Structure 1
Amino acid sequence: MAARKAPAEPLLVILGSTGTGKSELAVELATRFKGEIINSDAMQLYNGLPIITNKISQEERHGIQHHLLGHIPLDDAPWDVEDFKSEATKVIREIRGRGNLPILVGGTQYYVDPLLFKDVILDDVQIDPSLSFPILEQPTDVLLEELKKVDPIMAERWHPNDRRKIQRSLEIYLHTGKPASELYAEQEKRKAAVAQEPGTSQPWEKLLFWVYSERDVLTARLDSRVDKMLGAGLLDEVQELFDMKRNKAAEGQILNMTKGIWQSIGYKQFEPYMAAREEGKDEADLEKIKSNALEEMKAATRRYANYQTRWIRLKQIPRLKEQGPEAFGSLYLVDSTDVSKFKANVIEPAAEITSKFLAGESRPVPTELSELAREVLTRVSEPPPKDIPCKRTCEICQTVCVTEQAWQRHIKSAGHKRVMKKKKRLALVPVDKTPDNHSDSEASSDPDVTSIFAT
Structure 2
Amino acid sequence: MAMLLSMLVGKQPRPSLHNPATILDLPMPDSWTTLKSKDKVVFVMGATGTGKSRLSVDLATRFNGEVINSDKMQVYQGLDIAANKITEEECNGVPHHLIGVLPCHADFTCTDFCDMVSEKTDDIVARQRLPIIAGGSNTYIKALIDNEVYGFRSKYECCYLWVDVSMSLLYQALSDRVDQMVDKGMVEEARKMFKPDADYSKGVLRAIGAPELDHYFRVEASADEETRARLLKEALDEVKINTCRLARRQVQKILALKNDKGWNIHRLDATNVFPKHSKKSSKAYEELVLRPSVEIISQFLNNSAILRSADAVMSTTTR
TM-score (norm 1): 0.54
Match of 1:69 in 2: 99
Match of 2:260 in 1: 318
Q: What does 1:235-384 align with in structure 2 at a 5 Å threshold?
A: 235-242=187-194, 245-246=195-196, 249=197, 256-278=199-221, 280-315=222-257, 317-319=259-261, 321=262, 328=263, 330-339=264-273, 340=281, 341-359=284-302
Structure 1 residue 269 displacement after superposition: 1.1
Match of 1:226 in 2: 178
Contact 2:66 2:130 in 1 (8 A): yes
Q: Tell me the alpha carbon deviations over residues 14-68 of structure 1, each in whole angstroms, 9 at most, x when there is no partner.
A: 1110011111111000000010010011110011321011001100000111010
Structure 1 residue 241 displacement after superposition: 1.2
Q: How far apart, in 1, do the equivalents of 2:164 and 2:131 lie?
A: 22
Contact 1:46 1:69 in 2 (8 A): yes
Contact 2:79 2:204 in 1 (8 A): no
Change (3 A) 1:257 1:16: same
Q: After the TM superposition, which parts of structure 1 deviate over 4 Å for at least 4 consecutive aligned residues?
A: 201-204
Contact 1:113 1:316 in 2 (8 A): no
Answer with 267-276 or 38-47: which moved more. 267-276
- Structure 2 unmatched ranges of 5 or more: 1-34, 274-280, 305-319
Change (3 A) 1:64 1:108: same
Q: How far apart, in 1, do the equivalents of 2:117 and 2:247 lie?
A: 24
The SS at the match of 1:10 is: strand
The SS at the match of 1:43 is: coil
Change (3 A) 1:203 1:73: closer
User: Residue 43 of structure 1 is aligned with which of 67, 73, 86?
Assistant: 73
- Structure 1 unmatched ranges of 5 or more: 125-200, 250-254, 322-327, 362-455
Q: Once the two structures are aligned, what percentage of the paired residues are identical?
A: 34
Contact 1:6 1:359 in 2 (8 A): no
The one-letter code matched in structure 1 to 2:216 is Y
Q: Tell me the alpha carbon deviations over residues 92-116 of structure 1, each in whole angstroms, 9 at most, x when there is no partner.
A: 0000111100010111112211232
The one-letter code matched in structure 1 to 2:139 is Y
Structure 1 residue 317 displacement after superposition: 3.9
Q: How far apart, in 1, do the equivalents of 2:144 and 2:39 lie?
A: 13
User: Residue 53 of structure 1 is aligned with which of 80, 83, 86?
Assistant: 83
Q: How far apart, in 2, do the equivalents of 1:25 and 1:7 lie?
A: 26
The one-letter code matched in structure 2 to 1:14 is V
Q: Tell me the alpha carbon deviations over residues 209-250 of structure 1, each in whole angstroms, 9 at most, x when there is no partner.
A: 0100011110110010011011110111111111xx24xx5x
Q: What does 1:347-426 align with in structure 2 at a 5 Å threshold?
A: 347-359=290-302
TM-score (norm 2): 0.77
The one-letter code matched in structure 1 to 2:291 is E
Contact 1:6 1:357 in 2 (8 A): no
Structure 1 residue 71 displacement after superposition: 0.8
CA-atom RMSD in angstroms: 2.0
Match of 2:277 in 1: none
Q: How far apart, in 1, do the equivalents of 2:248 and 2:302 lie?
A: 35
Match of 1:109 in 2: 138
The one-letter code matched in structure 2 to 1:93 is D
The one-letter code matched in structure 2 to 1:258 is S
Q: Please identify the structure whose Cα radius of gyration is greater.
A: 1
The SS at the match of 1:272 is: helix
